């Protein structure tokens, strides 16, 4: 069976890490019954430079007609450093999520064996770490209206809004994921202050009581959750939260896995799913062959497992990555490695092709 993949390299290191992903998929194509068809599209600063739009209509049509989207990274300093820019790369990412209705962002944070001493916490506090963040992705303050700043830059407003249906659908995914793990969900909110958080608590509790009585549900304020991720991160199994809190907390938790370069993600929902590394475009490293491709490759593993029903191939890819980490064959962000983007990619391809792991 052939799978149609929309390939959006994006900005900064995006083209390099996407090239790594395509190299690995080529080997999987050759060594399995899977087959892939790729079509490239524009997004982010690259798209603005070439079309004037961060998410051109052609890209939307491509994504909507594909089985999955493989995204690199978005962001460019010339926009990041200009708060008055009318069009920004991130608008393309938000538009894609909204158009594809990918409302559930899954970000696993798992500590690979051999990296316990690479984390800035006591080894005993992170051993066995395995957290899944389930973040609502298309609602909340990032999409709320009105969102505006006045002409003389003296006042601005952002709006946070959620509905019962938006909360129910993301909570259901969190509970279903928990059933495949340790059966525990922690809802992170700010219900002592925010009306939207109070709605989240009511809806999530009702859903648990009606459909998921086998799941242990607890609640935690976001400020405490940020602290607990440092004090006792292994207490968590599935963390369910709204858009902005999930964005911040999952980035905080990335350091618990040894590097942001090891954090994959999947965005699932009504239409075409999106798979991308959780890190940014890292423009300082663009074109230098030093970017860590592993977060992208772990995102590919999520895609293989979820979209292609190829659990064996996904696990083979994860095992190849784990082998490289265990043996110190990494880029500089992991265990002070000395390898390049290309050499790590080549090693992983070699391990998969030889089936020696």
Among 80, 190, 211, 221, the one annotated catalytic = 190
Among 49, 209, 223, 309, the one annotated catalytic = 223
Let me know if 142 is a catalytic residue. Answer: yes
Let me know if 247 is a catalytic residue. Answer: yes
φ, ψ at 6 (rounded to 5°): -85, 120
Domains of the chain in sequence order = 1-105+273-357 (3.40.718.10), 116-257 (3.40.718.10)
As separate numbers, helices (DSSP H) first and strands (DSSP E) second, the chain gives 13, 12
For 250-270, the pLDDT digits (tens) are: 989 988 998 889 999 999 999
The per-residue pLDDT for 288 is 97
Let me know if 326 is a catalytic residue. Answer: no
Sequential pLDDT tens for the chain (357 residues):
789 999 999 999 999 999 999 999 999 999 999 999 999 999 999 999 999 999 999 999 999 999 999 999 999 998 877 777 789 999 999 999 999 999 999 999 999 988 988 888 988 899 999 999 999 999 999 999 999 999 899 999 999 999 999 999 999 999 999 999 999 999 999 999 999 999 999 999 999 999 999 999 999 999 999 999 999 999 999 999 999 999 999 989 988 998 889 999 999 999 999 999 999 999 999 999 999 999 999 999 999 999 999 999 999 999 999 999 999 999 999 988 999 999 999 999 999 999 777
Among 55, 79, 142, 275, the one annotated catalytic = 142
Under a CB-based contact definition with an 8 Å cutoff, are residues 204 and 171 in contact? yes
For 1-39, the pLDDT digits (tens) are: 789 999 999 999 999 999 999 999 999 999 999 999 999
Closest CA to 14 of 258, 250, 274, 291: 291
């Amino acid at each position: 069976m052939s799978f149609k993949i929309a390939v959006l390299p994006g900005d900064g290191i995006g083209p390099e890490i996407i090239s790594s992903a395509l190299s690995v998929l080529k080997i999987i194509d050759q060594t399995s019954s899977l087959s892939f068809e790729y079509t490239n599209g524009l997004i982010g600063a690259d798209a603005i430079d070439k079309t004037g739009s961060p998410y051109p209509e052609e890209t939307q049509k491509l994504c909507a007609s594909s089985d999955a989207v493989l995204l690199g990274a978005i962001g460019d300093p010339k926009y990041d450093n200009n708060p008055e820019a009318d069009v920004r790369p991130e608008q393309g990412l938000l538009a894609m999520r909204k158009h594809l209705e990918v409302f559930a962002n899954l970000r696993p944070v798992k500590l690979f064996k051999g990296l316990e001493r690479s984390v800035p916490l006591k080894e005993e506090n992170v051993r066995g770490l395995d957290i899944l963040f389930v973040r609502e992705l298309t609602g909340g303050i990032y999409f709320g209206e009105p969102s505006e700043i006045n002409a003389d830059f003296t006042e601005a407003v952002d709006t946070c809004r959620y509905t019962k249906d938006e909360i129910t659908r993301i909570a259901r995914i969190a509970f279903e994921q928990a059933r495949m793990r340790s059966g525990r969900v922690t809802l992170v909110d700010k219900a002592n202050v925010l009306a939207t958080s109070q709605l989240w608590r009511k809806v999530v509790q009702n859903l648990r009581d009606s459909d998921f009585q086998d799941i242990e549900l607890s609640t935690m304020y976001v400020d405490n959750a940020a602290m607990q991720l440092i004090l006792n991160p292994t207490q968590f199994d599935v963390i369910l939260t709204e858009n902005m809190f999930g964005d911040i907390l999952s980035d905080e938790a990335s350091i618990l896995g040894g590097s942001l370069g090891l954090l994959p993600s999947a965005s699932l929902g009504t239409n075409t799913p999106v798979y991308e590394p959780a890190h940014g475009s890292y423009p300082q490293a663009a074109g230098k062959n030093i970017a860590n491709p592993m977060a992208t490759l772990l995102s590919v593993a999520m895609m293989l497992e979820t979209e292609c029903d190829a659990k064996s191939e996904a696990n083979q890819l994860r095992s190849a990555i784990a082998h490289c980490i265990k043996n110190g064959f990494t880029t500089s962000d992991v265990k002070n490695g000395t390898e390049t983007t290309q050499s790590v990619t080549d090693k992983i391809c070699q391990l998969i092709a030889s089936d020696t792991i």
